[in-house]
Amino acid sequence: MNKPFEDKGYFRRQYPRRAMKRKVGVLCDGSYFVCDSGEVGEGGMSIISDYVLSEGHELVVSFQVPGGDFVFLRGVVRSTQKKEGDQRVTHGLSFNEIEFAIKRQIRSFVSARANAIT
């Protein structure tokens, strides 16, 4: 069965995302730092950091799902984008294995009205 994909040009998303402005803890290659989130969905999220992470790097992110639990999720860096004149880098992450309960909390947040909790 084919699932609908969101076409982003160079890659396709399996799940919709919603903007989420929260602090996110990132553990990558033995280093831990805190950065901002951009958006989140069941399949992954974007983070905005001062550090450049290479595509394919594995990491662990920790954050509070709005209206839900504080979670720790394993993921992989899928894309790295730096806008001209901006010091920070936007990374697209995909989650590896995600518990059904956490997936449901993220899905609930993404599908809620835009003026609800962020």
Please give the Cα distance from 60 to 117 (Å, whole number): 24
Residue 72's CB is within 10 A of a number of other CB atoms, namely 12
pLDDT of residue 8: 46
Global pTM reads: 0.81
Residue/partner pairs of 22-27 with CB below 8 Å, 24 or more apart:
22/63, 22/64, 22/66, 23/63, 24/61, 24/62, 24/63, 25/61, 25/62, 25/63, 26/59, 26/60, 26/61, 26/62, 27/59, 27/60, 27/61, 27/62
Residue 3: pLDDT above 80?
Answer: no
Is the pLDDT assigned to residue 63 strictly greater than 60? yes
**Which domains, ranges and CATH numbers included, belong to the chain?**
18-111 (2.40.10.220)
